[in-house]
Each structure stands twice: as C-alpha cells, then as structure tokens.
Amino acid sequence: MAQRLTLVRLEHRQTLYEPDSIIHRVYFPLNGVASLLAVMGDGDMVEVGTTGNEGMVGTPLILGVRTSAQEAIAQIPGDALAMEACAFVEEIERHDAFDHLVRRYLHGYINMVSQTAACNRLHEVESRCARWLLMTHDRANSDTFPLTHEFLAHMLGVRRAGVTVALGILRRAGLVSSTPGMITIVDRDGFENAACECYQLVRDDFGQLLG
C-alpha cells in the first residue's frame, strides 16, 4: 500500500472535508490532531470526535459512504499520510487484514464519540478540559501546541468564559501554562488525576482494539 500513500503537512484549522461534500482523500495522522465538528445552522459548532496517530480521517468510506454530515479540520498541525478515497476503498476490498483493522478502529471511534457525549452531559468543565488536553497531548508528540480559549470552547461546547475559568483552575494547580494562542502541559501525572474517567476508558478501549 505504501506506493499509494503521500506524506502531507496538515496546517492549523485546514479543512479536510466539508459537511455533505464528497470525501476525496483519507488521512492517517502521524502527529497532530484532526477534529470532527458538528456545525449548526447559526454557525455554532461543537467537536464530536478527534483523531490522532491511532486512526484515520474519512471513516464513512469504511462503510461505503462518500460523504459526512460533519466537518473535518486539522486541529493541531502535523504530518499525515494521505490516500485518495478511491484507492482506500480498493485497498480495503483487496486486503482482508486491512479491512479488519480499519473496522476495529471504527468501532473504537464510535465508542469514543459515545463516551464524549456522556462526558459532555455529566462531567464538570474542568475535568472535561483536562481530558481533552490529555488526548491532544497523547497525539501531538509535544508538550506545547497551538490553542486559543475560543477554539477550546468550541471543542468542549461551552462558553469562552467557562474555558477561561477551567484553565485558570488547571494553571493554579501547576498543571498547565499558556501564552496567547499556545498551551503547554507542565504536569502530565497531575493532568491524569484531574481528568474525568472518560480519558482512561477511551484509551483502554483503543488499546484493546488496536494493540
């Protein structure tokens, strides 16, 4: 399959595909993070799923669907391997092992989306914020990555003021530091204690499914 993959750079907030549009390429992030966003009629949006080096962007193609109701963007810049959609479909039809692997990933991804929905309903914003930052830290391969309060508010589905309060709590606990547009994880172990149970549940699930 290597000859059908192309190394590309995903830039911050680059659109990978738009709602209800044909998915032309799939992406396998090597570092960085992609977000799947549900966009409302008034322009408001909320993150419903994320993808890093454990998975791929373009999961509808696994099920034979060429479009998505959500928008996919590069949330944290990084490198990825890209493959044309038609080539991806051909490969999963040709190779049972590859088909089996991406379907196991899709199962884990659906579990993550379901857990995120429960988390957004039941857990406090600061523990949700810690969970989100931990998941991003796992995938970004760096302690420092670009992030604004406004963007994190969209990701968590809360007001910007709520994110400011949550990050203030984490900052005073010595877990994180920030400059305009950038954030740095200072105490990884402390973050894991501050995050809700959803972080470890999702991580364990992917570990069991993908090894």
Cα 164 to Cα 152: distance, rounded to the nearest angstrom: 10
Predicted local confidence at residue 163, as pLDDT: 85
Strands 78-84 and 25-29: antiparallel
Predicted local confidence at residue 175, as pLDDT: 92
Residue of 112, 125, 135 lying closest to 164 (CA atoms) = 125
pTM as predicted = 0.89
Predicted local confidence at residue 54, as pLDDT: 93
Spans of all domains in the chain: 2-119, 123-210
> Do residues 34 and 27 touch, judged by C-beta distance below 8 A?
yes
Pick the CATH number of 123-210 from 3.40.50.300, 1.10.10.10, 3.40.50.150, 3.40.50.10140: 1.10.10.10
Predicted local confidence at residue 35, as pLDDT: 92
Predicted local confidence at residue 186, as pLDDT: 93
Predicted local confidence at residue 179, as pLDDT: 86
Tell me the two tokens of residue 37: 């966003």
Kindly give, in sequence order, each residue whose CB lies less than 8 Å from that of residue 177, ignoring residues fewer than 6 positions away.
171, 183, 184, 186
Predicted local confidence at residue 95, as pLDDT: 95
Pick the CATH number of 2-119 from 1.10.3720.10, 3.10.290.10, 3.40.50.1370, 2.60.120.10: 2.60.120.10
Cα 51 to Cα 206: distance, rounded to the nearest angstrom: 12
Residues lower than pLDDT 70 in the chain: none
